[in-house]
Structure formats: structure tokens, C-alpha cells
Amino acid sequence: MRSHANRGQPFEDFLAFVHARYQSTGIACVHKVPTEFIPLRDRTGKVCNAKVEHKSCVDYLGRYKGTPVAVEAKHTENDRILFSRVEPHQAEYMDDFCKDPGAVGIVLVSFKLQRFYAVPWQFWKAARDAWESGNGKTQLPVEAYGWSWYTPGMASASAEQLLPDWEIKTGGTSGLPYLAIIERMKGERT
């Protein structure tokens, strides 16, 4: 059984491959943001464990065709993904990052490593904020980048409740061509 902390490791491994392909072909440069750890030592001075020193901002940062990109990756083995899976410190970072009108933030979602979505931050944030504010049971309209979507009115969403335009079909030279979603976002700024 995989520990709670490593539940997304296969997805992260896949994204490491995807990002290496993007970089080797000169398409984009996106890198994992390392988590800072403090080593914990036993009384003999041997490192026996570690604790997180600073919570990471988001999972990946990079550039695509001159556009700053922030990516938070979330994996679920369930049929639904909780909007609260983006932690408050990650949401705050994504909000700050996306204040730059040229920056793009997305949440990459893996459903059982079978279906993949690139959800623009504005949509994820709207659903997350609506639920946390108590308005979550109402479906609220969100419009950005030429897309219109209604928040699902729940704390989570299934793949079927996300826009079909956000789904990423595996394959191609990168394995997961999510930059096509970013390309659309860059061309449809609102």
C-alpha cells in the first residue's frame, strides 16, 4: 500500500518524463520546485528522518514561449478530486503568481492515471472559494480564456464535471501535451 505522502508519485514520475521531453525538444522549460527539508538526527548524529522546513509554493514553475507558468499537480485514485487538495499556501501563491497578466496558472489533474485535465487556476479557484465560503452548493458561472463553466456545487468534481476542452489526451512526443491548454489560454486572454 502506498503511503498518503507518496500517493501522487507515479503521476510525478510521469510529469518528470513529460517535462524532460518538453525541455529536450526546446518546447518549454518547466521544473519541479523542491521541498526544503530539515534533517533530523539521532543522538549519534546520524540522519534518521526529516521534516518540512518550508511548504512548497506549487509543484512546478517554468516558461512556455515566454509565458511564466505555475503548475500544481493533483492525483486521485477516486472518481472525484477535492478542490481543497490545493492547500491554502498553494492557493495564495497561485493567486499572487496569476496577478501578472502574462502569467498562467493551471492545476493538472490525474484521475487514476487514466484521464488527465489541465484546469486553469481561475476555474479551480472559483469552485474552491465557492465551496469554502458556503456558496458551494450553488453552481456559479465562471468565464475566462473563452471558456464558460459552472462550478459543480460540491466540494469536488468528477472528470465529467470538468470541461471537455481541459482534457489532455496522452500521446505525442511529450506523452501529456498539456501545453496546448496553455496555448489556448494565452490566445484567449480576458
Instruction: Assess whether pLDDT exceeds 70 at residue 114.
Output: yes
- Mean local confidence (pLDDT), 165-182: 90
pLDDT the model gives residue 174: 84
Percent of the chain with pLDDT over 70: 86
pLDDT the model gives residue 37: 58
Question: Residues with Cβ < 8 Å from 70, sequence gap 6 or more?
Answer: 57, 58, 60, 61, 93, 94, 97, 98, 103, 104, 105, 106, 121
Higher pLDDT, 99 or 43: 99
**pLDDT tens track for 12-64:** 999 999 999 999 999 999 989 876 556 667 788 777 776 655 566 899 999 99
Higher pLDDT, 188 or 149: 149
Closest among 62, 101, 75 to 179, alpha carbons compared: 62
* Alpha-carbon torsion (71, 108, 146, 25), positive or negative: positive
> What is d(CA 179, CA 161) in angstroms, rounded to the nearest whole number?
21
Percent of the chain with pLDDT over 90: 59
Higher pLDDT, 18 or 1: 18
pLDDT the model gives residue 144: 92
Locate the domains of the chain by residue range.
Answer: 4-33+48-187
Question: Residues with Cβ < 8 Å from 89, sequence gap 6 or more?
Answer: 55, 57
Domain 4-33+48-187 is found in CATH 3.40.50.740:
no
Q: Compute the mean pLDDT over every residue in the chain, rounded to the nearest whole number.
A: 86
Q: How distant, in Å, are the alpha carbons of 40, 48, 58, 68, 174 from that of 44?
A: 11, 10, 35, 45, 47
Which amino acid is present at 3? S
What confidence tier does 136 reach under pLDDT thresholds 50, 70, 90? Answer: low
What confidence tier does 3 reach under pLDDT thresholds 50, 70, 90? Answer: very low
pLDDT the model gives residue 190: 39
What confidence tier does 187 reach under pLDDT thresholds 50, 70, 90? Answer: confident
pTM: 0.84
